[in-house]
Structures are given as C-alpha cells and as structure tokens.
Amino acid sequence: MTDAAIAGRMRCYEGVLAEADRGTHTTWHAVHVNNWQVRSIDSDRIGFRLDGHAPLFRLRSLGAGQLFLGAGDRLRVAGVEDADGVTVYGIRNLADGSVYATVPVDSVSAATRHILPGIAALAGIVVTGAMLWQGTAGRSDYLEVAGVTAAMAGLFYLIGWLGRRIGLDRAELGPHANRGGDAEMSRALDLLEVAPGAAVFPL
C-alpha cells in the first residue's frame, strides 16, 4: 500500500478498551553527515484491543508518554486495517474527551529536516555574532559580523542539508513512526470529528 492510499483506506472504530500492552523499540545508528542524527532512537510500541473488534490496534510513536488510557474507557479510533491488525492514527477517549494523534514519519522527518536546523542556524548566527562583536571590542561594522556569522551558519546548515538529501532522516525514523504525513493526520482528526482549534495531544 502506497502512502497516498493510506488516508483513503482509513476508517473509524469504536469500542471499550479491553487490554493494552506497551513496549520500547530502540535502533542504533552511526554518526554521519546528517548533523541532527543521534546514536540511538527510542520509540513506544503500543498495542490494544477493543471489545467487539477482533484486530489488534497498534501504534508506533516517538512520544507516547502523554497517552493515558484506562481499562473500560470507551475509545473512538481512526486507523487503517491490514493483515497484521489496525495501524492507529488517532484516538478520542470518550471517557474524558481527550484526543491523541500519532505523528507519521513524513511529518516527523519534515520537522527534523527543516524546523530544527533553521532554529540552530539562527541561534548560531546570534551567538557567533555576539562573540565576534565582543572579541573585536565593537570595532567591526555590522556587515562584517553578519557576513562571517552567515557563512558559519550556512556551512552548518549545508552539512545537514546534504545528509537530508540522501534520505537518512526518513529511513532511520521509519521503524519508529506510522507511515504517511500531514494528510493522514488530517484525515484521522476528521474521522474523530475533532473541532478546529481543539486540543490534540501529538504522539
């Protein structure tokens, strides 16, 4: 099944939580050209069953610590069924009204590829510029300081860009998050009838 077909096959399930199990999955990676890579990646593997539904509901998440479900809670779940069960993309706990959305791999890697390097580059410009300004006792003009700091930050960003261009982020995050991206998140929230602006806990 291609990523494009995931949102189209998603459907809503409802039932009472009968049992749940949680485990941790870890993969190890060498440090390489991608400057945002870490040596290990940990994620939560969660499986649960709903009364009245035979398949196992399962999700992979890089941050499921804020997911709180209790036995007997009535859940509405948005997911895609396959031979191994139902991959969960969103959960509404009807007992307390809380809503959870799993963040698919494309959305996770997009943040890793663009937002984090951008923040780091900006921080590098500010910190390096301040250090240069102090080191020259204010004798350098603004254009000189800006040019040097922009070059340093640009080099930092370029190294990360090269790593991201060869697909390292998505490949390494793949075992830790559901397939898909923003379209799947939006479809799940639509199926769960989440109002615009309502609080949603990302998983």
Rounded CA gap, 102 and 203, in Å?
4
Q: Give which of 55, 38, 39 is closest to 47, Cα–Cα.
A: 55
The pLDDT of residue 14: 95
Contact between residue 99 and residue 192 where contact means Cβ atoms under 8 Å apart:
yes
Given a cut of 90, is residue 73 above it in pLDDT?
yes
Give residue 34's pLDDT.
47
Chain segment 113-159, per-residue pLDDT in tens: 555 555 655 666 666 666 666 665 555 566 666 666 676 666 666 65
pLDDT at 167: 45
Query: Contact 196/63 with Cβ under 8 angstroms?
Result: no
Q: Which residues contact 144 (CB under 8 A, 6 or more apart)?
A: none
Task: Give tens-digit pLDDT for 150-195.
Answer: 766 666 666 555 555 444 456 667 676 777 788 888 889 899 998 8
Cα 124 to Cα 154: distance, rounded to the nearest angstrom = 10
Give the pLDDT confidence of 25-61 residue by residue, as tens digits. 777 655 554 455 455 677 788 899 999 898 999 988 8
Is residue 199 over pLDDT 80?
yes
Distance separating alpha carbons of residues 198 and 65, to the nearest angstrom: 20
Give the pLDDT confidence of 82-97 residue by residue, as tens digits. 888 999 999 999 999 9
Element (H, E) at 127: helix 116-135
Q: What is the pLDDT of residue 168?
A: 44
